[in-house]
Structure 1
């Protein structure tokens, strides 16, 4: 099992937890409430951010040549973190031994805690050890500060790693619509990341999507972002992954293992386009029950929709953030998309 504690006094700060991959929606801001979003992680799990986080922040205009690329950014941002790596994400209920210190709570949030800097302290020694977030439209989360916390006990934890077959059986994915009929925020984040990778891999060529459910998620935004006058060869995006027959295609929408972060392998020259497991699993295997008593097959387009009826909008902030971390964004066509979207980065991909 893995238990984290205070680096100053070794007080335990978490229950035993198992490591999982950092989800793309870990830092998501979606809408404006009321209230916060569900935690990014399931209870009993933790994820590690491999990127710099927190102070100090560097203004893009102040960076020397090559500094941004060394930190993994290939397109301008207002500012980027030059802080420590290794910030640990947990579901808030898995943290104990730490409390919110009112003196450390800033006044920039709306109705809760926005977590710009540590606002939780160790109950034993008072060291600032974590950031608690629960403000409107933000993911509920606790982030452990890597400078003041460390691993007390290291082990596999309560959740064993599943193979791909067990994932299919035990983790059926997340439906795309919420009870009110809107798109689920996780889908907005997952699709935004996949779109950034797809555009980077496409070279600007037209893309066809035979699967009509996949097309409903990706087609509207692709039609807005790809050049309609492109004379390049049309390329095909298909689903690939465990228990999916090989159907060819130039790009394969493949699952990311939610625990290890491993990508389903595809053979060159097919280019992999990663998609969060919970969205991929639903697109690949969920089927609406067919009406009983019919002998005439129903074409797929006539079946009840698996996805919400209104047009899907990916998460603009996540789309631009993922795109900015891909070297391909320096290509003129992608840089134009990025620059066009930056003014709208706190809403959707309305380019």
Structure 2
């Protein structure tokens, strides 16, 4: 989470956990899980996540600080207590492979207005600004964790929307950056579904593709919808979508004409890319897919079982 921001997860998260075999399919579905997993969360709904630096007046509970890599992963439940009353109010997560977060328990905290005037939520047009684009590469030269997670979530929706059929991506950055990740889950073959980028500021793709790759609203999380609202849409992180639709200057060629014969540009840096191809975060893909009711379809369920239950 960025400083000064928060999010609310409407799904149950965190402990207590119960094994799938003990829960059963119907009870798991009431928890928002539609395919077999190792364990199902029966934790609180509507937990609030904030950046760790935004937490105040809380102290760790030493006996609840279990973790793997010399960190804390929240496996024992809330591990932060209010320094005033001593009540467990939140869970700090800071372990290997985990986002650094603080999850506030909805029944243990009270919302108070700050007194500051709320600004208007971002408009769809704000996605066209250069500063909204999320670059695909981290400062250390590795692929962006945000991109890996966003691609995993997007792929789960894409697999569900296509009923596990092959797809063809639009030429350009979408194919260059997402092609490898998509091919790992939807291999090429006959009867491919066409996919195109769509959203605010973009001309309507024609001919109309089978699936539109659209941005999520940066505040509400709701996917953008075309005017006719009948197209099949697959949501994508708005910062990733903004980069794919407007990656900035990518060609060293002049705006008009061509470079003189024999002249080479040596002042134009090529985009930095890791030595390995971008992959979807497997946990993000799986956790999203099992929460989609479409996974109950025999075709999708068979693929899921082959991948995760073998």
User: CA distance change for structure 1 residues 290 and 216 in 2, over 3 Å: closer, same or farther?
Assistant: closer
CA contact (8 A) 1:288 1:306 kept: no
Which residue does 1:92 correspond to in 2?
52
- Provide TM-score, normalisation by structure 2: 0.86
1:73 aligns with 2:39: no
Which residue does 1:114 correspond to in 2?
73
Select 1:197's aligned residue among 157, 169, 182.
157
Cα distance, 1:220 vs. partner? 2.4
Which residue does 2:247 correspond to in 1?
286
CA contact (8 A) 2:168 2:193 kept: yes
User: CA distance change for structure 1 residues 191 and 93 in 2, over 3 Å: closer, same or farther?
Assistant: same
SS in 2 for 1:121: strand
CA contact (8 A) 1:320 1:341 kept: no
CA contact (8 A) 1:225 1:337 kept: no
| In 1, Cα distance between equivalents of 2:134 and 2:156 | 21
Aligned length: 296
1:277 aligns with 2:238: yes
Cα distance, 1:97 vs. partner? 1.4
| In 2, Cα distance between equivalents of 1:170 and 1:42 | 18
User: CA distance change for structure 1 residues 170 and 159 in 2, over 3 Å: closer, same or farther?
Assistant: farther
Select 1:241's aligned residue among 190, 199, 207.
199
Cα distance, 1:335 vs. partner? 2.0
Structure 1 unmatched runs, 5+: 1-40, 298-302, 345-351
SS in 2 for 1:149: coil
Report the RMSD for the aligned CA atoms in angstroms: 2.6
| In 1, Cα distance between equivalents of 2:173 and 2:274 | 11
- What whole-Å deviation, never above 9, does each CA across 1:31-51 have from its counterpart, x for those lacking one? xxxxxxxxxx11111111101
Decide which moves more: 132-141 or 169-178.
169-178
CA contact (8 A) 2:64 2:74 kept: no
Cα distance, 1:274 vs. partner? 0.2
Cα distance, 1:139 vs. partner? 0.7
Q: Which has the higher contact order (CA 8 A, sep 6+)?
A: 1
Cα distance, 1:123 vs. partner? 0.9
SS in 2 for 1:341: helix
Select 1:60's aligned residue among 6, 12, 20.
20
Select 1:320's aligned residue among 263, 282, 286.
286
| In 2, Cα distance between equivalents of 1:154 and 1:86 | 21
Which residue does 1:175 correspond to in 2?
135
- What whole-Å deviation, never above 9, does each CA across 1:166-213 have from its counterpart, x for those lacking one? 343274221101233221111011011111111111133331112232
| In 1, Cα distance between equivalents of 2:158 and 2:229 | 16
| In 2, Cα distance between equivalents of 1:44 and 1:263 | 23
1:342 aligns with 2:277: no
